[in-house]
Structure 1
Amino acid sequence: MRTRAAVLWPDRSQWSIEEITLDPPAAGEVLVRMVATGLCHSDHHLLDGGYPGARRPVIGGHEGAGVVEAVGAGVHAIRPGDHVVLSVPLPPCGACVACLDALPYLCERGALIGQGFQISDGTARHHARGEDLSVFVFLGTFAEHTVVNEASCVVVDPALPLEAACTIACAGVTGWGAVLNTAEVRAGDTVVVVGVGGIGANAVQAARFAGARSIVAVDPVPFKRGVAKRLGADIAVASLGEAATVVTDMTAGRMANTVVMAMAVGDGRCTEAALSLVGKRGRVVVVNVHPADENTATINLRNLQSLEKQVVGCLAGSWDGRKGIRFLADLHRAGRYDLDSIVTRTYDSLAALPSGYRDQAEGTIIRGVLRLS
């Protein structure tokens, strides 16, 4: 079939919206008509060359939801007409050491993610200009249709609006998982969330859900600070320096239990400031993607040792995306998860990609979403 997609070609720094050819789904695969895709900063990071191992040409997008139009041989749990949210970071194999240790988001298949072809046989289903196209994170949601592995699809209630549901796939699972799984926030904790974009806004909600006594949001943009307070932050400040004063006062100097770093792009120079916000056995969770060539972060190693502070990484919320999507979809249905405040602007076509990312860079949105059909 023919459809349209946003393609990033070698030696180009802009998305090219064009017609592509899409093969039918092979065994174990699913054809999805995309309804909506979220504008995650990771895709803009791809545009800027932040993933040097990613094969080009590539169809971007990894935060998406749509309706199943066809299934390949052997697919029984998913049917045409099903509404699905696409799971990140990859369809796990279920047999490697990570999968057997209940860490499917760290599946050894991740070594193939830069190739971007179908995980089942290593070949492409997407083509344009006589070339095979890779798809970002095995999904390629910047397209009106895409073919994905059945393990990347989570069936959701048709009553759940897909324009909002698509953000659960990455921003939701990552933000909530960073708090519940990686940080292991407990009732009574003090939590600081740095950066109130899609992931940070979800992290604020997750901290409130987990029973945090105090939540401090940090973002230089007044609009985003206002959203953070609406979602459950007790205080919202503009800088890490302000946060240090606030947290010192509210904890009588004991400092926070957790800091979630959810900025658009990570900065190693902020690591010590983040560590200074946590107290004994405090944990700094690094969610934001850092530049691939950044290798330096300055920290006080004495405090790291003497106070048993921790710096830990977080990929996709340290969660099986399929489990996380189901959890959050159920939470939304129960009225305990605010998706409407996450999606602050929708755009009507793939052509609006530059506008959406410009709005993101200017801080006028929490999460932008493209309507695709």
Structure 2
Amino acid sequence: MKTRGAVITEAPGTYKVVELELAGPRQNEIMVKMFASGLCHSDDHLAKGDHAYSHLPICGGHEGSGIVVEVGPHTDGWEVGDHVIFSFLAGCGRCRWCAKGLQNLCDRGATIMSGSRPDDPESFRLSMDGTPVAQMCGLGTFSEYSTVHVDSAVKVDKDLPLDKLCLLGCGVGTGWGAAVNSAEVYPGHTVIVMGIGGIGINAVQGAAHAGAAHIIAVDPVEFKRTTALELGATHAVATMEEATEIARSFTNGQGADSAIVTVGVTTGEHVAQAFSSIRKAGTVVVTGLGKGTDIGIPVSLLELTLYQKRIQGSLFGASAPSADIPWMVELYRSGKLELDKLITTTYTLDNIAQGYIDMHEGKNIRGVVLFD
């Protein structure tokens, strides 16, 4: 069938809305009419060329929700009309990592940068004028319709707002899990969150939910600092120097229990600043992405060893999407997780470029594309 989607044909490049041909679902696949898609910084990294995708052109978008319009043959448990949230990381449920509860590290991730079907690297669901088009994370949520593997979809109740729930497929789980899972925030902890965008604001929420006594949000944009204070931060400052001083004032000069780095374009210097802000046996959690070619973190190896500090990477907040997305749905339903206030501005598919301009200008916590 025909669909319209936002595609980049070269990197660096810009998203352009074009007509695409979409293949119908095979076994264990569903076709979904998209309802909403979050504008995540990772898709901008793709457009800027920070990360090399193995196939271009590619349809962007990996944080989405929608309604099933077609189910592939012999695909049990799914039917037309089901409401779904996409997980940008598929979980097969059978590999070593899924079996250990580390579904975010599923072996399916090996194909995430190809945009093809996970079981056939030469097979693409989208095409443009006969040329195969990849799907960002196998999803391509910047398209009016998308065909995806069921391992990338989580069914949700039909009474819930899909425009809000789309955020659970990446930004919310990544930030929330960075605090709750990766930083292992406990009641009474002092936590610094560096960067208050679509990930950082949810790290603030996660730290608050875990019972942190002091949550220090760091961002140069006043609007983002104000939002952080509304959603659980106890302090909000413009620089890491200020945050570190505040953390030390609560910890007998020791520093924060953890610092979570969610800066849009993360550098080694950001990680080093976070490293300097934590106490002995403290943890730096890194969720932000930098350029794939950037190497090195300027930290003291002596301090790393003698102070027993930890630098911890965190992919999708170290979560298990098939379990944690439904859990976060229930937290939202019960009022313990805020989603509505995370969406600053909504856009049409044709206005997606403006959404990323607004992101770079610090105007949004999260922009969301709404489809007709």
Normalising TM by the smaller chain, what interval?
A: over 0.9
Aligned-residue offset at 1:367: 0.1
State the partner residue of 2:282. Answer: 282
Runs of 4+ in 1 over 4 A off after TM superposition: none
Q: How does 1:1-373 map to 2 (within 5 A)?
A: 1-10=1-10, 13-89=13-89, 91-122=90-121, 123-347=123-347, 349-373=348-372
Question: Is residue 11–residue 48 contact of structure 2 (8 Å, CA) maintained in 1?
Answer: no
Question: Is residue 244–residue 256 contact of structure 2 (8 Å, CA) maintained in 1?
Answer: no
**TM-score normalised by the chain length of structure 1:** 0.97
Q: In structure 2, what is the Cα distance between the partners aligned to 1:11 and 1:195? A: 25
Superimposed CA distance per residue, residues 301-346 of structure 1 (whole angstroms, 9 cap, x where no aligned partner): 1111111100010011111222221111100100111111111111
- Of the structure 1 ranges 52-61 and 205-214, higher mean CA displacement relative to structure 2 is found in 52-61
Q: In structure 1, what is the Cα distance between the partners aligned to 2:334 and 2:266? A: 34
Can you give the 5+ residue segments of structure 2 that lack an aligned partner in the other structure? none
Amino acid at match of 1:244: T
Aligned-residue offset at 1:371: 0.4
Amino acid at match of 1:338: E
Aligned-residue offset at 1:73: 1.4
Q: What secondary structure does 1:198 align onto?
A: coil
Question: Is residue 88–residue 321 contact of structure 1 (8 Å, CA) maintained in 2?
Answer: no
Q: What secondary structure does 2:340 align onto?
A: coil
- Of the structure 1 ranges 31-40 and 125-134, higher mean CA displacement relative to structure 2 is found in 125-134
Aligned-residue offset at 1:75: 1.6
Q: What secondary structure does 1:205 align onto?
A: helix
Superimposed CA distance per residue, residues 185-210 of structure 1 (whole angstroms, 9 cap, x where no aligned partner): 11111111001001111110110100
Aligned-residue offset at 1:83: 0.9
Q: In structure 1, what is the Cα distance between the partners aligned to 2:94 and 2:164? A: 33
Question: Is residue 178–residue 285 contact of structure 1 (8 Å, CA) maintained in 2?
Answer: yes
Q: In structure 2, what is the Cα distance between the partners aligned to 1:336 and 1:257? A: 24
Aligned-residue offset at 1:101: 2.4
Superimposed CA distance per residue, residues 14-56 of structure 1 (whole angstroms, 9 cap, x where no aligned partner): 1120111111100100000001000000000000011214311
Question: Is residue 120–residue 149 contact of structure 1 (8 Å, CA) maintained in 2?
Answer: no
Aligned-residue offset at 1:254: 2.3
Amino acid at match of 2:186: R
Can you give the 5+ residue segments of structure 1 that lack an aligned partner in the other structure? none
Q: In structure 2, what is the Cα distance between the partners aligned to 1:156 and 1:87? A: 12
Question: Is residue 11–residue 47 contact of structure 2 (8 Å, CA) maintained in 1?
Answer: no
Number of equivalences: 371
Q: What secondary structure does 1:274 align onto?
A: helix
Aligned-residue offset at 1:140: 0.4
**TM-score normalised by the chain length of structure 2:** 0.97
Query: What root-mean-square deviation, in Å, do the aligned CA atoms of Structure 1 and Structure 2 show?
Result: 1.2
- Of the structure 1 ranges 98-107 and 237-246, higher mean CA displacement relative to structure 2 is found in 98-107
Aligned-residue offset at 1:109: 2.3
Q: In structure 1, what is the Cα distance between the partners aligned to 2:59 and 2:138? A: 10
